């Protein structure tokens, strides 16, 4: 059991004082009943409550997918473009961790002009599992090319190309031509601008880039650009492997 003020705090509804105030002012309801006692205790597991009329389901840790649109940065402090975090409700941006407000964090940032699957979480171990090069989590990108794709370029991407910041060749785990100007590229590393630099290294240019998959998780076709949803328990388990 956990006090309702503490439940609100863990879910990102503000400081402990703010959460206490929300309850005492009658803005919180549980099981259809307004709760004004901030110390009232509930089992948080599976709990759905309402704050100012909006439903919220309790999640001990946050695991989300977002369909990132173009023209947005994966940064809490964007420099030139709007932040993808503005697409999320405030509680997800304010979830506390060890007493500090850190919110959910993007796992493997996408450039402002890149679209597709973006995972976010406040679980440090999960973030490390998904982003560490040691775990070789495959990421699949759908690439639109400026010039027609050549068989020799596919061969070079599979064999490995050298980028200017590392003398060791970087190889695609898989590379499949879709048509003359499109290919599906699978990577297990996460270097800066890696897809664009690899394509440039074989003598072509990226016109558009879309991430369609991370690990076992495929971006669903019914999740429109700019939309997000919670990951289901089985999806989190599959990503953890």
What is the pLDDT at residue 150?
A: 92
In the predicted model, is pLDDT for residue 27 greater than 70? yes
- Please, which residues have CB within 8 angstroms of residue 230's CB and are 6 or more apart in sequence? 57, 59, 62, 63, 64
Mean pLDDT of 43-59: 95
Other C-beta atoms lying within 10 Å of the C-beta of residue 214? 21
In the predicted model, is pLDDT for residue 166 greater than 90? no
Among 6, 37, 43, 111, the one annotated catalytic:
111
Q: Kindly state the tokens that stand for 164.
A: 């200017």
In the predicted model, is pLDDT for residue 80 greater than 80? yes
pLDDT averaged over every residue in the chain: 92
What is the pLDDT at residue 233?
A: 94
Helices (H), the chain: 4-10, 16-24, 90-93, 124-131, 151-159, 194-201, 233-240
Mean pLDDT of 97-113: 85
- Please, which residues have CB within 8 angstroms of residue 7's CB and are 6 or more apart in sequence? 42, 44, 47, 49, 58
Query: What confidence tier does 56 reach under pLDDT thresholds 50, 70, 90?
Result: very high
Cβ burial 91-101 (10 Å sphere, 16+ → b, else e): bbbbbbeeeee
What is the pLDDT at residue 97?
A: 82
All domains of the chain in start order, with CATH: 2-57 (3.10.290.10), 63-122+228-240 (3.30.70.580), 138-214 (3.30.70.1560)
DSSP 94: S
Mean pLDDT of 59-86: 94
Q: What does each C-alpha distance from 200 to 52, 76, 90, 163, 172 come to in angstroms? A: 51, 29, 39, 10, 14
In the predicted model, is pLDDT for residue 99 greater than 70? no
Evaluate whether 11 touches 3 at the Cβ level (below 8 Å). no
pTM of the model: 0.91
* Structure-token match 């290919």, residue found: 183
Measured distance CA(5)–CA(13) in Å, rounded: 9
Distance of CA 231 to the CA centre of its chain: 10
| pLDDT tens figures, 187-237 | 988 777 889 999 999 999 999 999 999 999 999 999 999 999 999 999 999
Measured distance CA(107)–CA(75) in Å, rounded: 11
In the predicted model, is pLDDT for residue 165 greater than 90? no
Name residue 120's beta-bridge partners.
64, 106
Distance of CA 184 to the CA centre of its chain: 21
In the predicted model, is pLDDT for residue 20 greater than 70? yes
User: Is 111 part of the annotated catalytic residue set?
Assistant: yes
What is the pLDDT at residue 98?
A: 75
């Amino acid at each position: 059991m956990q006090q309702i003020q503490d439940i609100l705090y863990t879910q990102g509804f503000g400081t402990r004082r703010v959460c206490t105030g929300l309850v005492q002012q009658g803005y919180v309801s549980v099981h259809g009943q307004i709760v004004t006692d901030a110390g009232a205790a509930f089992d948080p597991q599976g709990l759905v409550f309402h704050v100012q009329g909006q439903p919220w389901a309790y999640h001990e840790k946050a695991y989300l997918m977002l369909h990132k649109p173009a023209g947005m940065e994966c940064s809490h402090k964007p420099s030139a473009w709007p932040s993808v975090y503005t697409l999320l409700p405030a509680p997800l941006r304010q979830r506390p961790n060890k007493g500090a407000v850190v919110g959910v964090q993007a796992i493997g940032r996408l450039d402002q002009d890149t679209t597709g699957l973006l995972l976010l979480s406040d679980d440090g171990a999960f973030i490390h599992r998904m982003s560490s090069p040691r775990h070789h989590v495959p990421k699949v990108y759908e690439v639109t090319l400026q010039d027609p794709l050549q068989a020799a370029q596919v061969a070079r991407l599979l064999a490995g190309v050298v980028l200017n910041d590392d003398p060791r060749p970087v190889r695609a785990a898989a590379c499949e031509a879709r048509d003359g100007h499109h290919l599906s590229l699978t990577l297990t590393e996460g270097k800066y601008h890696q897809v664009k630099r690899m394509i440039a290294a074989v003598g072509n240019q990226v016109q558009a880039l879309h991430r369609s998959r991370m690990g076992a998780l495929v971006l669903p076709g019914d999740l429109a650009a700019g939309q997000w949803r919670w990951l289901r328990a089985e999806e989190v388990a599959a990503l953890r492997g």
